[in-house]
Amino acid sequence: MLTLYILTTVAGLVAASPARVTWPTTFCHSLNCPRYHVVTSTAEYQERLYEPAEWVSSSAYLTWYGSGMRTGYGKLIQYISGANKERANIPMTEPVVTMVTPGQNSSSSNFTVSLIVPRADQTSPIEPSDPLVYLKSFPKMTAYVRHFSGYAFGDDWAENAATLAGALDNATIIYHKDFYYTAEYNSVFQPKQIHTMITLIVLTTLASFAVTSPVLPTQTWPPAFCNKLECPKYTTVKTTKDYEERQYDAAKWSSTTISGMSYDEASRTGFQRLFNYISGSNKGQVKIPMTAPVTTKVLPGQGPFCKTNFTVSFFVPFADQTSPPEPSDPNVFTNPLAGMTAFVKSFGGYASDTDWTKNAAALAESLDNATINYHKEFYYTAGYDSPFTPLHRHNEVWFIKAD
């Protein structure tokens, strides 16, 4: 299974002298594949120059990669199986490419699944009969490729994409961070021959434009890591190398409490309840805008048989702060939080239960060393990004100042 991650930039072509490559490559399995030349290879990636080509595509807005990929792939299989203007059977090609445009925070993402048009049909591709399937021209482009083997899941793509992006950032190569591609070259019935690849496609002549990590503002509103979503308002009181001290305004949140589960299970359960609430599961059956962050208040159980308590919350949009829509689910409630001082530690990447715990412990140690009085019986986690945002993710842990 060959998977590409593609994050692109915006201008012309990287000039390079293409090297010879044996064609077709072995992982194409003698099927039609997009043609490319290898420009250079390093320990971390391969640079390829792809030729322009015609592709057939289908798009869908969904919240999960697997659903988006299967939906688009199913439509393309119907297209090559006769759902086209000529009712022709069209040869299968490789790879199956999925362009992922992440939604902000946890809103739906756009998935565009594509198959390259067979070489014999490139000059005159057969028109689809399904209005949700369309022909698409890919321009000439440079791709930076990292590949690995085995069945690839979300964490595999994210980890390898972040590694490749880090290598490109270190080389000051610029690329689009608003979308990426995956590309799969193997059938799921070929477990011993799975070839997975992650690729960042870069179209740029702006070599002098250095890629920098986002700067987290202290007073500019809203912060960049809110991803243009509404966030609870705060004022930065102080910033140290170990934490940021923030004064949060009083605000209402929509919350649900879960106990007796792992952090990951509780987060998923709580998120789904709240997502249902903002999607219309409320007394007015109204759609409520997504906000950031998704917070989880963690109240650890004491002793080996005591259950940890998790309260997952969405910030109530400013327009609804006075009178939030009443939830239909009795497990969801409006949670008014008083103004508070939070000590915040930020970190990147996909956060696991271990990452949250480790960063909370590091923050607690910093506060203890500074002899700061804070509530030690609970802490908050705060996530700001959609699961489909693989790069420059922003996570926080909070401890609340004790009076």
Render pLDDT for 124-173 as a digit per residue (tens, 0 to 9): 999 999 888 889 888 888 888 878 777 776 667 667 777 888 888 888 88
Six-digit token string for 168 = 């490109």
Q: d(Cα 103, Cα 192) in Å, to the nearest integer? A: 34
Q: What is the pLDDT of residue 116?
A: 94
* 4 DSSP β-pair partners: none
Long-range CB contacts for residues 16-22, cutoff 8 Å, separation at least 24? 16/40, 16/47, 16/49, 16/142, 18/49
Q: d(Cα 274, Cα 270) in Å, to the nearest integer? A: 6
Q: What is the pLDDT of residue 85?
A: 92
The three-state secondary structure class of 6 is: coil
Alpha-carbon torsion (167, 169, 175, 177), positive or negative: positive
Residue 183 has φ and ψ, to the nearest 5°, of -140, 130
Query: What's the order of all strands across the beta sheet hosting 133-138?
Result: 36-41, 46-50, 141-149, 195-202, 180-184, 96-101, 109-116, 53-62, 133-138
Residue 341 has φ and ψ, to the nearest 5°, of -100, 125
Report domain extents, the chain. 26-202, 224-400
CA angle (267, 271, 275) in 5-degree steps: 175
Query: What's the order of all strands across the beta sheet hosting 379-383?
Result: 234-239, 244-248, 340-347, 395-400, 379-383, 294-299, 309-315, 251-259, 332-337
Looking only at the bridges linking them, the beta strands covering 340-347 and 332-337 are unpaired
Bond into 222 cis (ω within 30):
yes
Looking only at the bridges linking them, the beta strands covering 332-337 and 251-259 are antiparallel
Report the run of H or E that residue 141 belongs to, with start and end: strand 141-149
Q: What is the pLDDT of residue 47?
A: 86
**Tokens 């689910």 correspond to what residue?**
329
Number of C-beta neighbours around residue 381 at 10 A: 25
Q: d(Cα 278, Cα 212) in Å, to the nearest integer? A: 35
Number of C-beta neighbours around residue 304 at 10 A: 5
What's the N-to-C CA distance of the chain in angstroms? 56
Architecture of domain 26-202: Alpha-Beta Barrel (3.20)
Q: What is the pLDDT of residue 14?
A: 38
Q: d(Cα 359, Cα 345) in Å, to the nearest integer? A: 7
Write the burial class of residue 1 (CB in 10 Å: 0-12 exposed, 13-18 middle, 19+ buried): buried
pLDDT digits (tens, 9 = 90+) for 107-123: 556 778 899 999 999 99
Given a contact cutoff of 8 angstroms between Cβ atoms, the answer to whether 214 and 284 are in contact is no
Given a contact cutoff of 8 angstroms between Cβ atoms, the answer to whether 115 and 91 are in contact is no
Looking only at the bridges linking them, the beta strands covering 234-239 and 133-138 are unpaired
Q: d(Cα 376, Cα 358) in Å, to the nearest integer? A: 15
Q: What is the 3-state secondary structure (H, E, C) of 17-44?
A: CCECCCCCCHHHCCCECCCEEEEEECCC
- Is the entire prediction scored with pTM above 0.75? no
With CA atoms as reference, report the closest residue to 176 among 165, 160, 163, 167: 165
Residue 246 has φ and ψ, to the nearest 5°, of -125, 145
**Tokens 């640079």 correspond to what residue?**
47
Q: How many residues does the chain have?
A: 403
Asked whether the domain spanning 224-400 has the same topology as the one spanning 26-202, the reply is: yes
Residue numbers in the chain where pLDDT is lower than 50: 1-18, 105-106, 188-193, 203-219, 303
Q: What is the pLDDT of residue 372?
A: 96
Architecture of domain 224-400: Alpha-Beta Barrel (3.20)
Q: What is the pLDDT of residue 204?
A: 36
**Inter-CA distances, 178 with 8, 129, 251, 368, Å:** 8, 31, 31, 39
